[in-house]
Structure 1
Amino acid sequence: MVNIRSLDPSASPLDYYGAELRRLREGAGLNQAQLGAIVFCTASLVGQIETAKKVPTREFSERIDAALMTGGFFTRLVGLVLRSQLPSWFQEYAEMEAKAAYISTYQSQMVYGLLQTEEYARAVLSVEQTDRLEKMLAGRMERQRILRREQPPVVCVVLDEAVLHREIGGREVMRAQLERLLSFVDEPWVQVQVLPNAVGEHPGLEGSFNLLRFENDPDLFYCERYDSGHMTVNSRVIRERSIGYARLQAMAVSPKDSAELIARVMEERYGPGAVA
């Protein structure tokens, strides 16, 4: 059955995408089933996207552009749609993250979002985002596109060792996530270091934080709490946190030794012979 739910195109980027998809499909004289056949998906999926019930993927958008000859309209629009699925309080940070030339982050609880596998991210988000899980997941995966740019940002990550041992999503998910971290070993623009449990007190005890540097804009500090994020360009805060981050890097093991530690935990804790 064709879904004819009306949309307000101004309500959100997702609603605008759906309304435009319907308008251009109908203008091409195609029903949902016919368009679905052209782009290798079901009529139901086309209908769900047209009614803003499902978030389109980048691949779907590229196929729609080719099918309806829209000159890349949906491919350009889908980035905005996916970013809009992030929590409203996080969207401004995500926009700044996408513009950054250098990203430095300390993570005490979980792997940094840019380096998460899809299944690890799904497990993290499923704790409290069950109603919007797929939309939130799509937004998080979209953030990672900046790592595939021709000139990606330099990303320096310090992970608390506890992150490696915190089993999120089960053994297979954790093993794949640690493999993902190891995949960056030979990437010159990504540096991953582990802060050992043995260091005791350290400058990151107050929680995770990020520092962003830009080519032409002031540095930015970001941290978040339960349901809100805090950003500032205050020079005193930037100076203090930059010094703190430098100390964290000095206290962490080297990138090479960190890779060896990650590989060891991956095998001993999440490998086939690991004891439950």
Structure 2
Amino acid sequence: MPNIRELDPGASPLNFYGSELRRLRLAAQLTLDELGAKVYCTGSLIGQIETARKVPTREFTERIDTALGTDGTLMRVWELVMRSQLPGWFRPYAELEAKATHIYSFEAQVVPGLLQTPEYARATLGVMQQKRLVERVAARLERQRILDREEPPVFWAVIGEAALHQQIGGPKAMRGQLAHLLSFRDHDWVQIQVMPFTAGAHAGLPGSFKILRFEKDPDIVYDEAYGPGHMTANPQEVKGRSLRYDHLRAAALSVEDSAELIARVMEDRYAEQA
């Protein structure tokens, strides 16, 4: 294990978290094992986090803050750590997404990230890269917490029917994912529509995209891509994408009919096997 004194707190949010954890632990005059006993983990795990070799979880951070009486110090740093786990090119979008009052999403082939289960997220994020998969999944799931806020954004999702049939993560993961979509059936702020195969040619054929709206700032359009997406506040592009989204919502199944289709696919295609 590297010498913890060599850790540069300014090198990254993860390094800063580790150095703060060590500072707080030493101020409390606790060894690694003693603190581990208080938060129900091993001293070795705490040592790995203090040396920035392992990314802490939200639950770990909450327990540490409570055990050390830090008044949420580490939780505030942890939010920066989670943001740093996102790809650099995606962070500006994620920061704007967290501030938006309305989020409109069209996904042609997959379930939107804000609605993914851990199993589904793990399968999608792990297709081409397994490195830091646990941390990247955690960062994606952390983005979803905006939907649990006291005043969440309005989130409207139009999803291509292909996303219901494409078996990502296996039958069990897909059944769990579709059940999760159905859990929003009576949600006041989340609306889900499915673009059925029978719709034929529709306004979303050029590709997936998102529109973010804010209380005071200009609207933002984010276009999906294989690598870095494209984000713009150009009024003409925003106007064109907004019109395209209106056509998508008009062509998709109603929220009620979409839920019925999701339930039908879940039972017909991903029924639990004896």
Looking at structure 1, the residues matched to 252 and 49 of structure 2 have their Cα atoms a distance apart, in angstroms, of: 46
Q: Secondary structure at the match of 2:192?
A: strand
Superposed CA deviations along residues 93-119 of structure 1, whole A, max 9, x for unmatched, are 000000000000000121000100011
Aligned twin of 1:236? 236
Q: Taking structure 1 as the reference length, what is the TM-score of the superposition? A: 0.96
SS in 2 for 1:88: coil
The question of whether the paired residues in 1 share the 8 Å contact of 2:153 and 2:189 is answered with yes
Q: Extract unaligned runs of 5+ from structure 2.
A: none
Question: Match for residue 149 of structure 2?
Answer: 149
CA–CA separation in structure 1 for the residues paired with 2:249 and 2:117: 24
- In 2: Cα distance, 1:13 partner to 1:272 partner: 43
Deviation at 1:173, TM superposition (A): 0.2
CA contact (8 A) 2:109 2:161 kept: no
Equivalent position SS for 2:203: coil
Q: Spell out, residue by residue over 1:43-80, the C-alpha distance to the aligned partner (whole angstroms, 9 max, x if none).
A: 12111211112211112111111111111101121111
Deviations 1:108-159 (A, max 9, x none): 1210001000110011111123111011111101101101100100000000
Do the aligned residues in 1 keep the contact of 2:154 with 2:189 (CA within 8 Å)? yes
* Aligned structure 1 segments of 4 or more residues deviating by more than 6 angstroms: none
1:207 corresponds in structure 2 to: 207
Give the equivalent residue in structure 2 for 1:134: 134
Matched, 1:189 2:180: no
Q: Using the TM superposition, give the Cα deviation of residue 272 of structure 1 relative to its aligned residue in structure 2, in angstroms.
A: 2.4
Structure 1 partner of 2:72: 72
Name 2:107's counterpart in structure 1.
107
Matching residue of 1:223: 223
- Is this contact kept in 1: 2:39–2:60, CA < 8 A? yes
Alignment-derived partner of residue 95 in structure 1: 95
Cα distance in 2 for partners of 1:7, 1:138 equals: 24
Shift of 1:4: 3.6
Question: Is the contact between residue 55 and residue 138 of structure 1 (CA under 8 Å) also seen in structure 2?
Answer: no
CA contact under 8 A between 2:213 and 2:220: conserved in structure 1?
yes
Letter in 1 for 2:129: Q
1:246 matched to 2:246? The reply is yes
DSSP 3-state at the match of 1:56: coil
SS in 1 for 2:89: helix
The SS at the match of 1:192 is strand
Contact 1:105–1:156 (8 Å) recurs in 2 = yes
Distance in 2, matches of 1:240 and 1:256, equals: 27
Gaps of 5+ in 1: none
Task: Name the amino acid aligned to 1:130.
Answer: Q
Alignment-derived partner of residue 31 in structure 1: 31
Give the whole-Å Cα distance in 1 for the aligned partners of 2:30 and 2:59. Answer: 20
What does residue 261 of structure 1 align with?
Answer: 261
Could you give the per-residue CA deviations for residues 144-187 of structure 1, whole angstroms, max 9, x where no partner exists? 11011001000000000000000000000000000000000000
CA distance in structure 2 between the partners assigned to 1:273 and 1:82 by the alignment: 37
Identity %: 59
- Indicate if the aligned counterparts of 1:3 and 1:47 stay in contact, CA closer than 8 A: no
Partner amino acid for 2:165? H
Whole-angstrom distance in 2 between the partners of 1:216 and 1:53: 41
Q: Do 2:184 and 2:190's aligned partners in 1 also have CA atoms closer than 8 Å?
A: yes
Q: Are the equivalent residues in 1 in contact too, given 2:105–2:158 (CA < 8 A)?
A: yes
Deviation at 1:8, TM superposition (A): 1.0
